[in-house]
A and B are shown apart, each in its own frame.
Chain A
Amino acid sequence: MKKCAAILMAAVTAAAAFLGGCSGGGTSSSGQGSVQHVRLMVWAPSEDQSIDSGQWLQKSCDAFAALHPEYDIEFIYGVADEASAASQVAQDPEASADVFMYANDNITTLTNAKAAAKFGGIYREQIESTSSQAIVDSVTLDGYLYGVPFTTNTWYMFYDKSVFTEEDVKSLDAMLEKGVVSFPFTNSWYLPAFYVGNGCTLFGDGTDEAAGVDFAGDKAVAITDYLVDLLANPNFVVDSDGSGMAGLRDGSIKAIFTGSWDAANIRDILGDNMGVAAPPTFMLNGEEKQMMAYAGSKAIGVNATSDYMLPAIQLAIYLGSAEAQQLHYELRNVVPCNTELLARPEVANDMLVAAQNDTFDRTSILQPFVAAMSNCWSPVENMGKGIRNKTVTHDNAAEQTQAMNDAMNSNGIS
C-alpha cells in the first residue's frame, strides 16, 4: 500500500513538473534582445500548400520569417479551407491554428466562440489604408475588425464571347435573344439577386438584425411574376447539380453564373472565347433593374487564444499584404483586393479581376452575417424550386411571395 502511494506521489510530481515546464517554456525564451522562439500553426486550403500550385503558403511564411530575424519561427501547416476553417476553429480554439483563413460569412461563428482576435492600432490603420471601405466592412462586426481581407468572394457571369458581344452582356434580355443562358435558379445564394435588384432588403443595410427581411409587397411579387415568365423562356435553363457547366462543355449553354473557383475549368472549355462580366440588368415591366449578387470576402484571422499573439498578427498582416496577394494572384489566380495592387495595369487588365471587382463594387450587396441570416436560405431555395416545379404561378405569386417573406423573418420555432 505504502509502495503504491509512493509511486503515485512520484507520478504526480513528475506530471506537475512536466506541465510546469510546458507553460514556462513560452515565456522564458522571450528574453529582451534575444531571438524569440515562436511556434505558429497556420491553416490554409490545400491548394495554397501543394507543390503543383506553387506553395504560396510556404513561400509567404518563409518570406515573413526572413523579414523578422527577431523571431525563430517554427511553422506548422494544417489544411482547412476558408469555408470550413471558422467552424474548425470554433470547435476548439485552443487546439487550432494561430493564423487561419476564413470566409467572412462565418464571422459570427468565430466571435460566438470568442476565437477571433481583434485588430487594432497601427495594424488596423494598415489594413484600412490598403483596402476599400466595403471590404473592411465585410470583416467588421460591432465596430471591431476581425481579419485581414485578401480577396473578395462573390459570383458573376461567364459567357461565350463568340455568341454575346460586350454590349449584349449588360442586359439579360439581350442575351436571352441570342443564346441559352443558365442560372442557378434553385440556389439561394444566387436567386435573391433579382429580388434585391428590385429594392428588397435584408436587415436594413445588412447589419440591423431588428429591421428584418423585406421580401414582401408589390416589388417582390413583381419579381416572382418575372421569374415565372423567365423560366418559360426557351433560352433560359435552370443550372443545378453542375448542369450549367455540363451544358457549357457540350455547347448547349452559352452563359452561366458562378465564381472564380470555376474559372480554370471554364477557361479549359471556352479557351479564348471566355468572357467574364458582372451580373447583367433585366427588364421588369419596362424598367431596367440591376441584378445584385451577394458578396463577401475571405480574410486571414488570428486566433484569440494564440500564445504568440504579436507574431501571429504580424504574420496575418503579411499574408494579406500587397506582396503576398500578388504572389497569390500569380500562383493561383486569387483575385487581389489590395488597392495599390488593383491599380497596377497588369492586374487591372485581367478580365477576371475586373469582373469580380466590378461585381463587388457595383452590382452586389454585402451578404449580411447577422445570426438571423440563417433563416433566409431555405425559403428562397423553396421559392426557386416552386417556380421550377410550376407550383408557384402567376395566380398564387402574391401569396407565395408573402409566405417566403414570413418564413425568412421567422426562425421556424417561435
Chain B
Amino acid sequence: MKETRVASAKRKRFINNTIVHIVLAILAVVWVFPILWVVLTSFRAEKGSYVSTFFPKSYTLANYARLFTDTTILNFPKMFGNTLFIAICSCILSTFYVLSVSYCLSRIKFKMRKPYMNMAMVLGLFPGFMSMVAVYFILKALGLSEGGLIRLALILCYSGGAGLGFQIAKGFFDTVPRAIDEAALIDGCTRWQIFYKITLPLSKPVIIYTVLTSFIGPWVDFIFAKVICRANADYYTVAIGLWRMLEKEYIDSWYTCFAAGAVLISIPIAALFMFLQRFYVDGMSGAVKG
C-alpha cells in the first residue's frame, strides 16, 4: 500500500516535471527564435528581404565584410564609432550623476529631499521624447545642432536627465549600514571619501546595473539621434543607419547587412555584461561584523 503511494507520487511528480519542462522549452524556443533568425539572416548568402526557407540555402561572411567596406552610401564603421563614443561618454557621465544623486538622497537629510524625490517620480512618469522638440530648439539656440558639436549635444541629451533615475541605486545605498559610515567618520573621512572609499566598493552590483543601463540607453536610442542629427550624415548613429537600410531604395540589397549590423551592435553590450557580471555577486558579504 505504502509503496504504491510512493510510486504514484513519483509518477505524479514526473508528469508534472515533464509538462513544466515542455512548456518552458516551447517558451524558450519562442523567445530565442527571432534572435536565431537574425543571426542566420546575417550569414545568408541569398540577397533580398524575403526568403521562403527558415535556414539559408548558403552561408557567407560577405554581409559583415560589406558593412565595413561599402561605406560610400551608408558608412557603418563611422556610425558605429560615433555611437560607441557617445554611449561611452554618456555612460560615464550618467553613472556618475545617478550614483551621486542616489548617495545624497540616501545619506544626507535636507529640506528639499522629499519634494525632490516626489518631483523626480512625477517627471519620470512622462516619456522622455515628449521634450524632444524643446530639447532640439534649446540645443540649436546653444549652437550645438551643427557639425561636431552634435556629438556633444547627444551626450548631453542622454546624460542630462540621468539624475532622475536614482530610485534603484538609492534603494541599494539604503541597505548599506550607516554604522560603516559612522565608523569612517570617526576615523576622519570626509563625505566624499566615505562615498568613494567605503560605499562604492560595497555597491558593485548596483554600479554594474547603473553602468549597463546607462550604456544601453544611448546605444540603442533612435528618436533623439534622428531629431538632432537631421541631415548631418557624418554624425549618424547606428540606429539611424540600420533604419535607413530598410528604406525602399536599400532594403533589397542591404537587408542581410542590416541583420549583420544588428548582430554587431549586440556585441559591445554582451561584452560589457560578460566583463561586469563577475562583480554581480553580493558586495555586502563581510562588511559588518557581529
Interface string of B88-99 (1 = CB under 8 A from A): 000000000000
- Residue in A47, A81, A242 whose CB lies within 8 Å of B251: A242
Residues 256 to 299 of chain A near chain B (Cβ within 8 Å): 261-262, 265
| Given known A-B contacts A78-B230, A95-B145, A265-B252, A246 and B73 have beta carbons under 8 A apart | no
Q: Are B231 and A242 in contact (CB under 8 A)?
A: no
Residues of chain A contacted by B48 (CB below 8 angstroms): 242, 245-246, 249
Residues of chain A contacted by B230 (CB below 8 angstroms): 78, 80, 88, 91-92, 95-96
- Looking at chain B, what size class is its interface with the partner chain? 20 to 34
Highest count of chain B CB atoms <10 Å: which of A45, A51, A52, A95: A95
Q: Are A81 and B249 in contact (CB under 8 A)?
A: yes
How many residue pairs, one in A and one in B, have C-beta atoms under 8 Å apart? 71
| Given known A-B contacts A50-B73, A261-B249, A246 and B233 have beta carbons under 8 A apart | no
User: Which residue of chain A has its CB nearest to the CB of B250?
Assistant: A261
Q: Is A243 an interface residue (CB 8 A)?
A: yes
Q: Is A346 an interface residue (CB 8 A)?
A: no
Interface string of A77-109 (1 = CB under 8 A from B): 011110100001001100111000000000000
Q: Are A245 and B49 in contact (CB under 8 A)?
A: yes
User: Which residue of chain A has its CB nearest to the CB of B236?
Assistant: A79
Q: Is A156 an interface residue (CB 8 A)?
A: no
User: Which residue of chain B has its CB nearest to the CB of A85?
Assistant: B231
- Residue in B49, B140, B146, B233 whose CB lies within 8 Å of A241: B49
**With the chains together, A117 CA to B196 CA distance in Å?**
59
Residues of chain B contacted by A188 (CB below 8 angstroms): none
Q: Are B136 and A46 in contact (CB under 8 A)?
A: no
Count of chain A residues with a beta carbon within 8 Å of a chain B beta carbon: 29
Q: Is A159 an interface residue (CB 8 A)?
A: no
Residues 35 to 78 of chain A near chain B (Cβ within 8 Å): 43, 45-47, 50-53, 78
Residues of chain B contacted by A97 (CB below 8 angstroms): 231
- Residue in B47, B227, B232, B249 whose CB lies within 8 Å of A249: B47
User: Which residue of chain A has its CB nearest to the CB of B230?
Assistant: A88
Highest count of chain A CB atoms <10 Å: which of B140, B231, B251: B231
Q: Are B233 and A79 in contact (CB under 8 A)?
A: yes
Q: Are B248 and A261 in contact (CB under 8 A)?
A: yes
Instruction: Please report B residues at the A interface, Cβ cutoff 8 Å.
Output: 46-52, 72-74, 136-137, 140, 145-146, 227, 230-233, 247-249, 251-253, 255
User: Can you report 24 residue pairs joining A to B where beta carbons are below 8 Å apart?
Assistant: A45-B249, A46-B72, A51-B72, A53-B72, A53-B73, A78-B232, A79-B232, A81-B249, A83-B247, A88-B231, A91-B227, A91-B230, A92-B137, A92-B140, A95-B140, A97-B231, A241-B49, A243-B50, A245-B48, A245-B50, A249-B46, A261-B248, A262-B252, A265-B252
